[in-house]
Amino acid sequence: MANERPAQQSDIKLLISKGLEQGYLTFAEVNDHLPDDIVDAEQIEDIIGMINGMGIEVHEVAPDAETLLLAGNSTGNREVDDTAAEEAAAALTLDTEGGRTTDPVRMYMREMGTVELLTREGEIAIAKRIEEGLGQVQAFL
């Protein structure tokens, strides 16, 4: 595993350099450069948050030139900060070592833990809609 770390760090460093250079990354680019043992959605969100914190926007698809100009991102005008890229790469490789699982049930439960629960008001609103629907069904029958 010690031999994989420098390769992972250099991949992530290249990804961050590319993001700093062009001002954005796509989710596909981030996913392609992540180590294979990162499968938890929470970890991926943390990584994307770290990338966003470096001033690199992560998009679903690559934005067109007009969108970049409107957002104020000019490609090529950002300096590549090697130390920041190295620190981020080191942090990401350290984060991949602890507590990973490929068990689908555990992965599902972790993913469900990231979903917001209903508030009391939300539950009441849904219960009222259900009761109204049941009343309409009974009235129809």
pLDDT, tens digit, for every residue of 6-21? Answer: 666 777 788 888 888 8
Domain boundaries, the chain: 4-100, 108-141
Question: What is the model's pTM?
Answer: 0.43
Instruction: Of 9, 8, 13, give the one whose Cα is nearest residue 81.
Output: 13
Distances (CA, A) of 66 to 59, 69, 109: 15, 5, 41
pLDDT interval class at 98 (50, 70, 90): very low
In sequence order, the β-bridge partners of residue 25 are: 58
> Does pLDDT of 117 surpass 70?
yes
**pLDDT at residue 47 in the model:** 81
